[in-house]
Amino acid sequence: MLTSSKSLIAYDKKNLDDKTLLQLYKNMLKPRMIEEKMLILLRQGKISKWFSGIGQEAISVGVTMAMHKDEYILPMHRNLGVFTTREIPLHRLFSQWQGKANGFTKGRDRSFHFGTQEFNIVGMISHLGPQLGVADGIALASLLKNKKQVTTVFTGEGGTSEGDFHEALNVASVWQLPVMFCIENNGYGLSTPTNEQYHCKDLADRGKGYGMESFVLDGNNIIEVYTKMQKLAASIRKRPRPILIEFKTFRMRGHEEASGTKYVPKALMQEWAKKDPLENFQAYLKEQRILSEKQEVAIKDAITLEINEHLQMAFDEAPIVPNVETELNDVYKSFDFKAIKPDSKTAELRLIDAISQGLKQAMEKHDDLVIMGQDIAEYGGVFKITEGFVNQFGKARVRNTPICESAIVEAAMGLSIAGMKAVMEMQFADFVTSGFNPVVNYLAKSHYRWNQQADVVIRMPCGGGVAAGPFHSQTNEAWFTKTPGLKVVYPAFPYDAKGLLTTAIEDPNPVLFFEHKALYRSIRQDVPLEYYTLPIGEASVLREGTAVTVISYGAGVHWALETLDANESISADLIDLRSLQPLDTETIFASVKKTNRVIILQEDSLFGGIASDLSALIMEHCFEYLDAPVKRVASMETPIPFVDQLEEQYMAKGRFEEALKAVLAY
């Protein structure tokens, strides 16, 4: 704190009137006083954790006041001033921090890990990076709707080492998105000082590499922050483009309270204490006779009263009562599926044509649908599924992307937050590893955490049989069936592919849509030419028999058909799952209870695949009906090889017939 009443920060009030200056002061004072109260409650065990922003209030407040209330802000956990300046009722914040139902996450996530559409705030997740790409998506929606709005997103200096930071800046620059990227450079990433975080003079210099303007601001000077950000925001609204701003500031308390500050040199703490943004601004206002002692006392008394009243409201709120049904029902946003019957007019289409047609008709039906992916515009995608789309829908809606899977998944999420739909083509399903984090941690969990839908479909060209080797041939559906909040669809036929894709796009939940590459041009079927939908979560019984139940999906369905055609004497139920999450257990169990024998065929390697869970479900629910152990047939426990003879040996196809006959002979 200041040792004298004189301000040590040089302020230039420019054309700001006294009312605005006082409002800046009040907006900084409120989060400071709330924090001081929270630190007491933390010691009393009334909240579980606290990430302090003391000493950084000028950034949160200045930036938020420079923006319009209908513009999105994506803060981090040291930006309490964003939430209070947006005038979120304090009792709701207190309820959030105490894990009460009147918070924003129903006790499912803590502190500042939440968003609220009511206040146009989108909170961060612990992985730090994804909110940057999400800001790109929100800004893209603003650009497409010509709303002339700015999206502002925060990160710390440590977060700039994340790949998401660089991907998001590059995408924003290439697409000229109206985003302000704000780096709060507060000296430490937990205990790691900046000299171990990056090796450039200023982080703002990184803007040059992405072809964007960048600025370094004194993050403790509230007038400088507010006036500069106000000017930049106004400029971006007129001429959309991204801007990178680095705020020099300091973290006066630990990363979170338990970590302490012993790793910080004492002299450095003392130096920055003299630059306290609130104390200095208060001193300045008194020097300028804008704030009197009497006003100061009155303002602080009013804030204290508000804090205490709202705290009591939160304390009086009943604890959350666990309810299994409520928890399960909130994993997915409710979706009222409406079956659109197929037209009688059909044509024989390949799987690839059916997918292309369904996607095209969805684009025609949904004006707010955007497709993104590598090479999908003029080139039409590596499999030519979007060939010609750019001529019909334009490059605004059919968007080539840089090679940055993570940022594009995040941008798709941002479009959903802004009320639009997105389809992302993962050029090969294998490449999802480069965007895995936002899929399983952001898309999958957003509705459960704070009631935000992720209206995103990720198309996943997958599978072997095309001699493409270990990095272009995986069928990795099991990575996602394990993740609550995702839906996983895997059609084997053109008719199913078109109808399920249109439904996936209508569904407000995130859907991983697997498309087997070897089936693209090898499987044909009569498909309705008009738009239609099929329900996700219903299996298809392709053949009916009495001796055995065969369960498969994707290419495995066709392997099973070939085997059964070659063994006409085998009377089998053949179930094509079509959807892996949700799973049609009713159809499976009914068949098993009829045939009393089961074999499950999958292309994926055995351990940890969906066949294992299917087997466990059948054993738990149908054990007394079984006349033989459940048999699983899968590919080898190796990465998928390239050369034909090795790939053929790897595949489960060659081992299915023998296994099927063994089950029947048991």
- Angle at the Cα of 317 from the Cα atoms of 316 and 320, rounded to 5 degrees: 140
Sequence-ordered alpha helix ranges (H) in 334-435: 351-365, 389-393, 405-417
- Angle at the Cα of 514 from the Cα atoms of 519 and 558, rounded to 5 degrees: 35
Tokens of 352: 């690839």
Instruction: List all residues 6 or more positions away from 90 whose beta carbon is below 8 Å from its beta carbon.
Output: 34, 84, 306, 307, 310, 311
Among residues 472, 516, 558, 621, which one is catalytic? 472
Question: Tell me, what amino acid is at 586?
Answer: E
DSSP string covering 32-44: HHHHHHHHHHHHT
What is the three-class DSSP state of 310?
Answer: helix
- Give bridge partners of residue 248 from the DSSP assignment: 185, 218
Tokens of 577: 């799952």
DSSP string covering 314-359: HHHSPPPPP-HHHHHHTSS--------PPPS-EEEEEHHHHHHHHH
CB atoms within 10 A of CB 399: 23
261-281 b/e (C-beta count within 10 Å ≥ 16 → b): beebeeeeeeebeebbbbbbb
Instruction: List all residues 6 or more positions away from 610 whose beta carbon is below 8 Å from its beta carbon.
Output: 477, 478, 481, 580, 602, 604
**Residues 264/269/272/277 CA torsion (nearest 10 deg):** 100
Tokens of 273: 């204490």
Q: Is residue 487 within 8 Å of residue 582, measured between CB atoms? A: yes
Tokens of 425: 């083509």
Tokens of 622: 């149908």
Residue of 326, 335, 334, 333 whose CA lies nearest to 451 = 333
**Among all chains, which residue has been given the structure tokens 């705030």?**
121
Tokens of 481: 């069936």
Tokens of 300: 């602080």
Q: Is residue 186 within 8 Å of residue 54, measured between CB atoms? A: no
| Whether 127 is catalytic | no
Q: Which residues are catalytic?
A: 472
